[in-house]
Amino acid sequence: MSQLSRLHSISHLAEDATIYLVGIGGISMSGLAEIAQAAGFAVCGSDQHKTARTAYLQRKGINIHYSHDAERIEQIKPDLVVHTAAVHEDNPEIIRARALKIPVIDRATFLGWLNQTFDQVINIAGTHGKTTTTALCSLILLASGIDPTVHLGAELKQFGSTVHLGEPGKLMVSESCEYMNSFLKFYSTTAAVLNIDYDHVDFYDDLSAVIDSFVLFADHLPENGNLVIPDFDPQVGQMIRDLAALRKIKGRSMPQLIYFGAGSEQVNPCRDGFYYQNLTYINGMPRFDVWHNQTHYCTIQLRIPGLHNVLNTLAAIACAHLHGATPDAVTAASEAFRGAEGRFTETGTYRGARVIADYAHHPAAARATLDAVKYIPHERTWVVFQPLTYTRTRVLFNDYVEVLKACDLVIFSEIYSDRDFAGEDRMSSRLLAEAINKLGGHAQFIPDFRKIKQVLDTVVKPGDIILVLGPEEIREFADQLTGRQAYDRLLT
């Protein structure tokens, strides 16, 4: 069934239709369940694991089953089945739904359909920084008295969830992931492309293929749409050139381009954009002036570290400004924002050291996080790193080694993946540790979390920072070190 056919099949859903979500506990799926319930649909679903997120949904009255059972589809007879990308066609609930002629769509198609129920939609894309930028953009809008519906890929303290349920049908803000071309199913009136790196190597053959996908994402914008982009990223520059060529062929004009980046005397006054100047760091946190074109817009003291977050902030400001945000709201929201869950999240202390968990699983993201830590007053930095997917680790192996070889000590847990396998070369974090040590670095491979803790016990002292990098599994280890409970993340 084509995407258009899928959208047609769900656009005719009755207001009280039953929607069944397979893999409802996923970070995106759980938010979609909450939005669908608020829209008046009867929502239920299944997941293999009971988590803080599924418990949260159950408290909201959403019925969840902790197994995948074909007979359940027979009993419930939902009007629509939505599944996460981690659920495949051999899932028994999917098989039974198709046998019963119940429409079955993936998560991205459902989110794209939700997009189209709003007058205006801000979709924020990019290899890195999507969650932070989407969260901050949303908080700026809320501080401006604008009430968007928001869909995030992480919990946010101000929401107590992954979503904010705003004024129906008006404005939606969502992050947009390029994996498996998911974002090509979304609808935008404003889109942001924060950066482009080679990632999702199990889907894209090379960097050119990633750029091509972003071109198509940007091309979905209407001619009166807005495209927020960095003025410094060469891959985004190539995307814009390719987009202009594609639109020329189609006889379509370009969307309005809004830039962000570092301010200088060379900034083109004809370009609409947001730029930072006078960047300094106070206790490791950036302080800078924001200029909109040739006019001072506001001054910000961030509570999230790193130059990458200065740039994320500018992109968030640009997107929010286009939809009515004010400079005062930008200042207030930016200075109060402490990040979304798992994005440089301080989980507490262990043996007097600050424990910080960050999703930085890509080499470029790990470099940005390590650079940010340098500005924070501390003694030593101990890095615990878990690569995400065997394929990414294999293809970007040398990049991981280059970024992590300068660490005082990096402890690798084994690679985490729910979608690929080690392969004939038996890819492992052990190989990363060995490569770093051959170059004179300091790395250990310790697949047992209990033993990682034992090693940290021998080296960690008060005033240090323990930086835990990677997917949710390793970030939960940071919680274990500090005793932070899962419900603290959802703020119940």
pLDDT tens digits for 278-301?
999 999 999 999 999 989 999 999
With 50 as the cut, is the pLDDT of residue 54 above it?
yes
**Predicted local distance difference test score (pLDDT) of residue 64:** 97
Answer with the one of 336, 363, 392 that is the final residue of a domain: 336
10 & 51 share domain = yes
Residue 160 in contact with residue 108, Cβ under 8 Å? no
pLDDT band at 194 (very low <50, low <70, confident <90, very high): very high
| Sign of CA pseudo-dihedral 24, 29, 31, 35 | negative
Domain count within the chain? 3
With 60 as the cut, is the pLDDT of residue 199 above it?
yes
274 & 137 share domain = yes
Neighbouring residues of 295: CB distance < 8 A, sequence distance ≥ 6 = none
* pLDDT tens figures, 433-483: 999 999 999 999 999 999 999 999 999 999 999 999 999 999 999 999 999
323 & 392 share domain = no
* pLDDT tens figures, 293-329: 989 999 999 999 999 999 999 999 999 999 999 999 9
* pLDDT tens figures, 144-165: 999 999 999 999 999 999 999 9
**Predicted local distance difference test score (pLDDT) of residue 5:** 45
Report helix, strand or coil for 281: strand
Nearest to 223 by CA among 271, 189, 185: 189
* pLDDT tens figures, 22-43: 999 999 999 999 999 999 999 9
- Amino acid sitting at position 388: L
Residue 175 lies in a domain: yes
Share of the chain above pLDDT 90, in %: 89
H helix and E strand count, the chain: 18, 21
* pLDDT tens figures, 237-247: 999 999 999 99
Encoded tokens for 139: 């908080």
**Predicted local distance difference test score (pLDDT) of residue 264:** 72
With 70 as the cut, is the pLDDT of residue 267 above it?
no
Neighbouring residues of 472: CB distance < 8 A, sequence distance ≥ 6 = 27, 342
Lateral strand order in the sheet of 381-385 = 345-350, 353-358, 465-469, 381-385, 409-412, 443-445
180 & 317 share domain = yes
* pLDDT tens figures, 75-109: 999 999 999 988 889 999 999 999 999 999 999 99
The continuous run of DSSP H or E covering 213 comes out as helix 207-219
285 & 139 share domain = yes
Nearest to 131 by CA among 356, 372, 341: 341
Between 165 and 424, the more confident residue is 165
Place of tokens 């960050």: 358
How confident is the model over 191-212, as a mean pLDDT?
97
Specify the range with the lowest mean pLDDT, choosing from 128-132, 168-172, 261-265, 312-316. Answer: 261-265
Mean of all residue pLDDT scores within the chain: 93
Encoded tokens for 45: 């679903």
Phi-psi region of 479 (alpha: psi -120 to 50; beta: other; left: phi over 0): alpha
Phi, psi of 387 (to 5 degrees): -65, 155
> What's the domain range around 206?
118-336
90 & 139 share domain = no
Under DSSP, the state recorded for 388 is B
Residue 270 lies in a domain: yes
Residue 353 lies in a domain: yes
Residue 164 lies in a domain: yes
With 60 as the cut, is the pLDDT of residue 336 above it?
yes
Residue 113 lies in a domain: no
Encoded tokens for 365: 């993201």
How confident is the model over 393-403, as a mean pLDDT?
97
238 & 382 share domain = no
Q: What is the CATH number of the domain that holds 255?
A: 3.40.1190.10
How many angstroms separate the CA atoms of 22 and 10, rounded? 16
| Sign of CA pseudo-dihedral 345, 434, 363, 263 | positive
Residue 213 lies in a domain: yes
Residue 313 in contact with residue 334, Cβ under 8 Å? yes
Q: What is the CATH number of the domain that holds 387?
A: 3.90.190.20
Q: What is the CATH number of the domain that holds 21?
A: 3.40.50.720
How confident is the model over 6-32, as a mean pLDDT?
84
**Predicted local distance difference test score (pLDDT) of residue 1:** 43
pLDDT band at 2 (very low <50, low <70, confident <90, very high): very low
133 & 103 share domain = no
**Predicted local distance difference test score (pLDDT) of residue 265:** 59
Residue 469 lies in a domain: yes
Lateral strand order in the sheet of 171-175 = 161-164, 149-156, 171-175, 120-125, 190-193, 226-230, 256-262, 273-282, 285-292, 295-301
Residue 19 lies in a domain: yes
CA angle 49, 50, 54 (to 5 degrees): 115
